[in-house]
């Protein structure tokens, strides 16, 4: 694994295209995006206003949903949920209230090592976005996982 560059979040037309799935969710068609793409509604750390981001679910288990911040710790959604972890998730056709928490680097390494073989094209793209050159080995992906911030979104109990 080699760090090639530190990319900046998209701007202009690229940003609009990146945010296009938000329109799909707003139109009530989020279920068309399946279980791997979720709409995250969070609170702006400066404005206090609701903000939205569409992010990939890299892991889903009984403890909740895990996402990687593709633009690192500089991503607005990441900084916002670290400042105010109470969020709403829309996954498929479901809306869930949840609490966000960062995942330690070593756990992130294991998440990335198991994610990459299941979704090789998406793993390569995530690495490229983050500025990592990888050889495709599990060890390389594990090392990348130590550098990518992962967040676990733990749904609230029903009625909570």
Say whether pLDDT at 159 is over 70: no
Q: What is the pLDDT of residue 157?
A: 85
For 65-106, the pLDDT digits (tens) are 999 998 889 889 999 999 999 999 999 888 999 999 999 999
Domains by residue range for the chain, with CATH: 2-155 (2.30.110.10)
152 CB contacts (<8 Å, ≥6 apart)?
A: 63, 64, 65, 66, 100, 101, 102, 103
Query: 3-class DSSP state for residue 149?
Result: coil
Cβ 150 vs Cβ 61: under 8 Å: no
Q: What is the pLDDT of residue 160?
A: 60
- Bridge partners of residue 137, in order along the sequence: none
Query: 3-class DSSP state for residue 42?
Result: strand
For 5-61, the pLDDT digits (tens) are 666 677 777 777 777 788 888 888 888 888 889 999 999 999 999 999 999 999 999
């Amino acid at each position: 694994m080699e760090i090639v560059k530190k990319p900046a979040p998209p701007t202009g037309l690229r940003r609009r295209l990146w945010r296009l799935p938000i329109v799909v969710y707003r139109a009530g068609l989020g279920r068309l995006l399946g279980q791997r793409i979720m709409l995250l509604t969070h609170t702006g750390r400066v404005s206090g206003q609701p903000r939205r981001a569409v992010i990939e679910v890299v892991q889903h288990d009984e403890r909740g949903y895990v996402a990687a911040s593709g633009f690192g710790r500089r991503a607005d959604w990441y900084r916002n949920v670290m400042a105010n972890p109470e969020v709403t998730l829309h996954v498929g056709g479901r809306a869930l209230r949840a609490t966000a928490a960062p995942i330690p680097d070593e756990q992130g390494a294991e998440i990335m090592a198991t994610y990459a073989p299941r979704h090789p094209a998406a793993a390569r793209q995530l690495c490229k976005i983050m500025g990592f050159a990888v050889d495709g080995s599990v060890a390389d992906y594990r090392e990348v996982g130590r550098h990518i911030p992962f967040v676990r979104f733990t749904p609230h109990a029903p009625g909570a």
